[in-house]
Structure 1
Amino acid sequence: MENLKWNETPSDRAKGHVLFHHEKADGWITLAKKEKSGEWQQYHYQADQLAVELSKWLGEDVYFSQNTFYKPQRRIENIRQLRALYVDVDCYVLNYDPEWVVGKTDLEIFKDALPDPNIILFSGRGIVYVWLIEPVPYQALPLWQAVQNYFCEQLKYVGADQKSIDATRVFRVAGSINSKSDNEVAVQYRHAYRYVLRDLQGDYLPELAPSKPKKPGRKSKIIHLHNVRSLHYVRLLDLVRLMDLRDGDVTGQRELLCFLYRYWSCCLTEDTADSLEQMLEFNSEFKEPLPEREVIRATKSAERAWIAKSDAKANEESIERGYPGAGYNLKNTTIIKWLEITPEEQVHLRTIIDGNEKRRRKRERDKLAFREKHGSVSREEYLVKQKDKTEDKLWLLKQAMKRHSKASNVKLAELLGVSEGYIRKLKKKL
């Protein structure tokens, strides 16, 4: 089952597994442990720290993140690199033996319906199939999620868990023990080739190819879901950006921000438990967080709305009443009014913007297109662009200094991906 060596220790197996998965990773990797009390303990490490720290974690129920984060916080909006696709198969629910399922999927699925996985993780009771991909940034999350959903659908008949395919997912580490079965987690390595996400999309979901000419008529369901998921993700990022612009001082809109975060997170990940957990973390970053029980109760309708949105009958009934469908289909103007978003704040947002900001951006694009076609960009426009870049770096530096108050300039430079000299230069502007 596992590619074992006679003299390997559980610690060796754990290091081999994590480092094989996260070779040359950029960003923070989460290590997590489920305590007997049911509480989660988790810390975040850079790839070069893992080999040292991992041995301290070994024991029962140890997990690690499949993707990396740009700051030490395991939240969907903090994704730095998407590094793998994965499907968690709870074959024990169907009373299927894991070895039998592997043989069955080798014959019926891999090579034809799906590519051969890099890793098969025997998690103690079930299986996790993992496909390593060339790292892609967070902007590719909607496409990644579309491919992830497709892979999961192909393995549904052997027990694939639809709730375990979000980008922040953690899975068990080889060499650790599954306390439910008392079995050691084992890994079968099949190959080290990293797939290209766009190639997988082209092979298995060609309808999402950007180069395809538009056809008249109604879009396919897959294209529609992909576009909607893209919108939900960008809106989620805008909520986080808005909170940062206001330095967490959002007392008048806390419930609404948490409600929208929970709803859009459900739409994006299709995982109600994970969306709730991430919303609670989002709430904790307010200057005055809402009490946990209060915010869970106040945003419960967001989860119910997503469940209705996913229900064919509820959608049909809503359309009959004249609505676009079940769930919440909010206009930008409504969101802007509810959250009292100013024109100055909209400049920093990506999608929650009004007509004036859209027109301003179009004018800017048209100016740049004209300059590129008819000559170099003027010095004034170049300076504006450079100023915008500097302001973004200043914002990132402020966030890094807030979360790592004792960090040296060298460490801050590492976190932001710039030189130490540039950090000193930025600090003079604070």
Structure 2
Amino acid sequence: MNEALKHIEFHHDNADGWIALCKKDESYNTGFKQYHYKPEQIPEVLSKWKGEDCYFSMNTFYKPLRRVENIRQLRSLYVDIDCHARKEPLTPEQVLMWLESEHFGVTIPEPNYMIYSGRGLVLEWMIEPVPYKALPLWQAVENFLCSQLKELNSDSKATDAARIFRIGGTVNSKNKNMVRIDYRHNFIYTLRQIQDDYLPELKSRKKKDKQESGNRTNKIKHMFNTYTLHFERKEDLLRLIKLRGYDVNGNRSNLLFLFRYWSSLYYGDSEMALERTLELNAEFTEPLSEREVEQITKSAEKAFKDKNNAELNNKVRKQGHKAGAGYNFTNEKLISMLGISMDEQRHLKTIISYEEKQRRKTVKRRENGIVERSQYINEQKNITNERVEAIRKLISDNPKIKNKEIAELLSISPRRVGQLKKFL
């Protein structure tokens, strides 16, 4: 139990939010017994979470529900290596030798610690906690780290922010091996540091001209705009479903299809996206069967594969479709498909009409103290009329007064005085 507590406290030092503790239990419908605790409660309850197949969440949640959309703090990055499942199986020790000779400090930073999970190896990097809004950047870095270790059979399905891994000091029931932890260092990384040091598209160059700098900036914008767009699209669906109180009978098929498609593009994995889609479906007031969900979202899987097919993408772009293969819905199409009202659009970020965009621009201008054009024109007319009347009175009192003198009295230019006299 001391090993388990040491593991969780090392990982969640000064954490904020709920931590999920899980244990395999066939008596539960999900096959998992799962509860959430505040960090300070862990020492008291951990004795109930011992023995075989015990796990805890890598990140924390703002409410006791282990879902990506409930993330409170993103506290770590991780890569799960299924070395036993390679075509040419390796032991965790052999994998570690490979990592130390080929990867640590070269293609990826050295992890803070590693979990010997019984048959595989999990690498863990502790980061300065960041909130949910940093999820697109976090996912980009997470996917990058996983991709660097593909040759070692890294698991792309274990890259979501709600992931759980085994607790040190517990037992893997598949082979009865004890889960052990290899602590390497306690340096806390930042997302930006890993991004700058290891992501090829973002590596800084000391000597670059303005053109090179511009190209690099465009790459960064394109990369993260893509992650952010897919993230915000699926988040808009969640907002819409919540606004409708999860009573979405008339739109279940379209909502689930779009959610799986955008989740696939965001996670880079259609099967993981299907898991999230099934979880979403279960929250509907009248959910579909799992088989129905798989059938109606099957085309999302195909579109995702097409989108990741370089040859097909080039072919489609040559035909005049700049966005490439896959589905590329306009906002107008999405609003029509889902029957989104103007009132609902006010709560969404990206799936909005031209009218809603203009409304937001107007609100922003007003908040920044920028008046509307019609109001500005009326205000200028009033100012002009007031100045004309002032000039009329000055000339009436002193017919020989010069434009320069009028200009000084009214704090305007002599030329403007000449223009205003035309209105007399």
Normalising by structure 2, report the TM-score.
Answer: 0.78
Structure 2 match to 1:158: 152
- Is 1:79 the counterpart of 2:50 in the alignment? no
One-letter code aligned to 2:331 = N
Please give the alpha-carbon distance, in whole angstroms, between the structure 2 residues aligned to 1:292 and 1:163.
19
Q: How well do the aligned residues superpose, as a CA RMSD in angstroms?
A: 2.5
Change (3 A) 1:217 1:229: closer
Q: Kindly indicate whether the alpha-carbon contact (under 8 Å) linking 2:18 and 2:38 is maintained by their aligned counterparts in 1.
A: yes
Please give the alpha-carbon distance, in whole angstroms, between the structure 2 residues aligned to 1:149 and 1:295.
26
Structure 2 match to 1:91: 83
Structure 2 match to 1:63: 55
Structure 2 match to 1:411: none
- Is 1:30 the counterpart of 2:29 in the alignment? no
Deviations 1:208-248 (A, max 9, x none): 599x987269944x753432111111111111111111112
Please give the alpha-carbon distance, in whole angstroms, between the structure 2 residues aligned to 1:223 and 1:187.
38
- Is 1:255 the counterpart of 2:253 in the alignment? yes
Change (3 A) 1:151 1:216: closer
- Is 1:146 the counterpart of 2:140 in the alignment? yes
Deviations 1:291-322 (A, max 9, x none): 33222222222122212222223323433444
Structure 2 match to 1:13: 3
Please give the alpha-carbon distance, in whole angstroms, between the structure 2 residues aligned to 1:14 and 1:337.
52
Structure 2 match to 1:125: 119
Q: Kindly indicate whether the alpha-carbon contact (under 8 Å) linking 2:202 and 2:216 is maintained by their aligned counterparts in 1.
A: no
User: What is the number of equivalent residue pairs in this alignment?
Assistant: 359
Q: Which moved more, 1:174-183 or 1:49-58?
A: 49-58
Structure 2 match to 1:100: 94
Q: Secondary structure at the match of 2:368?
A: helix
Structure 1 match to 2:269: 271
Structure 1 match to 2:37: 45
Q: Secondary structure at the match of 1:249?
A: coil
Q: Secondary structure at the match of 1:283?
A: helix
- Is 1:176 the counterpart of 2:166 in the alignment? no
Counterpart among 175, 196, 206 of residue 202 in structure 1: 196
Structure 2 match to 1:355: 354
Please give the alpha-carbon distance, in whole angstroms, between the structure 1 residues aligned to 2:33 and 2:319.
47
One-letter code aligned to 2:76 = A
One-letter code aligned to 1:31 = L
Please give the alpha-carbon distance, in whole angstroms, between the structure 1 residues aligned to 2:203 and 2:107.
18
Change (3 A) 1:100 1:20: same
TM alignment of 1:290-369, pairs within 5 A = 290-323=288-321, 324-369=323-368
Please give the alpha-carbon distance, in whole angstroms, between the structure 2 residues aligned to 1:240 and 1:64.
25
Report the structure number with the largest CA radius of gyration: 2
Q: Which moved more, 1:83-92 or 1:43-52?
A: 43-52
Please give the alpha-carbon distance, in whole angstroms, between the structure 2 residues aligned to 1:153 and 1:71.
31
Q: Kindly indicate whether the alpha-carbon contact (under 8 Å) linking 1:166 and 1:271 is maintained by their aligned counterparts in 2.
A: no
Q: Kindly indicate whether the alpha-carbon contact (under 8 Å) linking 2:20 and 2:57 is maintained by their aligned counterparts in 1.
A: yes
Q: Secondary structure at the match of 1:30?
A: strand
Q: Secondary structure at the match of 1:168?
A: coil
Please give the alpha-carbon distance, in whole angstroms, between the structure 2 residues aligned to 1:156 and 1:90.
10
Q: Kindly indicate whether the alpha-carbon contact (under 8 Å) linking 1:77 and 1:236 is maintained by their aligned counterparts in 2.
A: no
Deviations 1:219-278 (A, max 9, x none): 44x753432111111111111111111112221111111111111111111233332222
One-letter code aligned to 1:63 = Y
Q: Secondary structure at the match of 1:163?
A: helix
> How much has 1:184 moved relative to structure 2?
0.8
Q: Kindly indicate whether the alpha-carbon contact (under 8 Å) linking 1:164 and 1:271 is maintained by their aligned counterparts in 2.
A: no
Q: Hey, which bits of structure 1, 4+ residues long, moved more than 6 A?
A: none
Q: Kindly indicate whether the alpha-carbon contact (under 8 Å) linking 2:201 and 2:216 is maintained by their aligned counterparts in 1.
A: no
- Is 1:228 the counterpart of 2:226 in the alignment? yes
Please give the alpha-carbon distance, in whole angstroms, between the structure 2 residues aligned to 1:360 and 1:142.
27
Please give the alpha-carbon distance, in whole angstroms, between the structure 2 residues aligned to 1:53 and 1:361.
49
Q: Kindly indicate whether the alpha-carbon contact (under 8 Å) linking 2:116 and 2:181 is maintained by their aligned counterparts in 1.
A: yes
> How much has 1:352 moved relative to structure 2?
1.0
Q: Secondary structure at the match of 2:6?
A: helix
TM alignment of 1:375-394, pairs within 5 A = none
Q: Secondary structure at the match of 1:363?
A: helix
Q: Kindly indicate whether the alpha-carbon contact (under 8 Å) linking 1:208 and 1:223 is maintained by their aligned counterparts in 2.
A: no
- Is 1:190 the counterpart of 2:184 in the alignment? yes
Please give the alpha-carbon distance, in whole angstroms, between the structure 2 residues aligned to 1:209 and 1:344.
43
* Stretches of structure 1 lacking an aligned partner (at least 5 in a row): 1-10, 372-430
Deviations 1:357-416 (A, max 9, x none): 112222222333347xxxxxxxxxxxxxxxxxxxxxxxxxxxxxxxxxxxxxxxxxxxxx
Q: Kindly indicate whether the alpha-carbon contact (under 8 Å) linking 1:69 and 1:79 is maintained by their aligned counterparts in 2.
A: yes
Normalising by structure 1, report the TM-score.
Answer: 0.77
Please give the alpha-carbon distance, in whole angstroms, between the structure 2 residues aligned to 1:218 and 1:121.
37
Q: Secondary structure at the match of 2:97?
A: helix
